[in-house]
Structure 1
């Protein structure tokens, strides 16, 4: 089983002024992110505006990442409403160099998404996927709860190797750790909870805040691994408020504005999302200053 331990970056997707994919800017951002001891890159996560990407754009992003990723993990978000579409996307992304896929449940027909239906969806995906599957639990966007009981059954499948929990509920994350046991690994999705998540058994995180605070996020993980809990706690105090003010409250627009402030390419989100306004920019600037972040922090 591929080890998922460490900090994974759900990277932002840069767009040009005409709204198209800014692939050269993406490649430049990748070079900076990969200069840090991250565990991997996640393309087409929530921070990457996955629902707004065309299939050819996703392919271009994955190809660009595969060219730079080396021996680190390249994970691609392939969630879709139809099971067959997820299966097809997984095969395509594996062919382009993905090492794993991050898969959410369908939710448009919410009332039909009973636990047995969700189970069958993920098992069919896992059966057909040429690369390992990571379950994606993000109830704020996809209101289908991957309960610990359901997850405990899903991770019996040898091709389901982990779950990203973005519920923001530490108790739920702990229950998922117990449910996964030795069958799968748990990654936290909240930068405010990384230290606590590691303490309760998560192996790392897929963290939006790590896109803008890469060095500090990696330092937290490395300090915790080394048993330096004082330094790990200090790093958590740095990135926790940044997660809250920029990622959780500000969303994609704020994350992209922060990237611009830090010398990377953020740019505008894709419509219908709107760029950060003056008030949001002020919050971003204050959060970055409070976290003492500069370029590549």
Structure 2
């Protein structure tokens, strides 16, 4: 199976209502705003979406809503789980819900046992069974995860149904190394909004960017300017996006992104416990960053 991943994809947040349930109407509203910004795709069920705090039925509902709202966008569903069996089931459920591809984080709870041969077997089994293309997800190393060795990624890139990787390590040298080592047609997506322009120059085809929840048009503009050869415009927009990514996404994670959405008139709301809402001085910092960027008065 083939799929063109070039462009900016937004790992959407998951809004919750006062009872702590997924707020379907708020999700629809947020998604309707995002798809109007020219994004290539929506990633539903990723780290920014608090996927590890959602049950399977909540993920499925979110995928179905995203498919309905984002009819013209790629839908990438986060389906990674700790067992190969559950991951395969989630991939099949995502395909049934209309996903165009799946983003699969590694099983990392038994980290010491996850040797390259074990991970290779896991991803091959998932890719063999998945009805849609598989994207390997290198989760940010500050989270509970593992670091993919480049030879393993080179091996996985040879599988016909493993089409790319989201690399959230924030290391351009490692990204270049993977680009050089993997099979022709294997598509790299950067996970750091602060590195989008540099990653495109290094051979990435696009990004899955948490900061694009807050500034989707600027992120899309970086990709469009690079594609047209206007590197000065890409660099100008990158200089606006980088401090927002570093200060909000990199520095505060999900609570920071959700508070930023609230400040921009979208629906952020509280994360699901045990995550907490953003407290001071984080709120003041987000306000200052958004004000400096000209996004709020």
TM-score grouping bracket, smaller chain normalisation: over 0.9
1:81-110: per-residue Cα shift (whole Å, max 9, x none)? 000000001001100101100001111111
State the alpha-carbon separation in 2 of the partners of residues 15 and 194 from structure 1: 30
Equivalent position of 1:198 in the other structure: 200
State the alpha-carbon separation in 1 of the partners of residues 26 and 255 from structure 2: 17
State the alpha-carbon separation in 2 of the partners of residues 111 and 46 from structure 1: 22
Equivalent position of 1:22 in the other structure: 23
Query: What SS is found at the alignment partner of 1:74?
Result: strand
1:139-170: per-residue Cα shift (whole Å, max 9, x none)? 33243221221111101000000000000101
Deviation at 1:22, TM superposition (A): 0.4
Q: What's the TM-score, normalizing by structure 1?
A: 0.97
2:35 and 2:73 in contact (8 A); partners too = no
Say if 2:8 is the partner of 1:7.
Answer: yes
Equivalent position of 1:59 in the other structure: 60
1:101 and 1:132 in contact (8 A); partners too = yes
1:103 and 1:133 in contact (8 A); partners too = yes
Equivalent position of 1:230 in the other structure: 232
Equivalent position of 1:137 in the other structure: 138
1:156 and 1:183 in contact (8 A); partners too = no
State the alpha-carbon separation in 2 of the partners of residues 55 and 101 from structure 1: 14
1:196-242: per-residue Cα shift (whole Å, max 9, x none)? 00000000000000111111111111111111111100110000010
Equivalent position of 1:211 in the other structure: 213
Say if 2:159 is the partner of 1:176.
Answer: no
State the alpha-carbon separation in 2 of the partners of residues 180 and 257 from structure 1: 38
**Number of positions where the alignment pairs a residue of Structure 1 with one of Structure 2:** 295
State the alpha-carbon separation in 1 of the partners of residues 228 and 185 from structure 2: 25
Say if 2:101 is the partner of 1:100.
Answer: yes
State the alpha-carbon separation in 2 of the partners of residues 143 and 220 from structure 1: 29
State the alpha-carbon separation in 2 of the partners of residues 294 and 34 from structure 1: 21
State the alpha-carbon separation in 2 of the partners of residues 246 and 219 from structure 1: 20
Equivalent position of 2:78 in the other structure: 77
Structure 2 unaligned residues grouped into runs of 5+: none
2:158 and 2:183 in contact (8 A); partners too = no
Deviation at 1:56, TM superposition (A): 1.1
Query: What SS is found at the alignment partner of 1:215?
Result: helix
State the alpha-carbon separation in 2 of the partners of residues 221 and 111 from structure 1: 38
Deviation at 1:294, TM superposition (A): 4.6
2:108 and 2:144 in contact (8 A); partners too = yes
Q: Which runs of 4+ in 1 moved over 3 A?
A: none
State the alpha-carbon separation in 1 of the partners of residues 119 and 66 from structure 2: 30
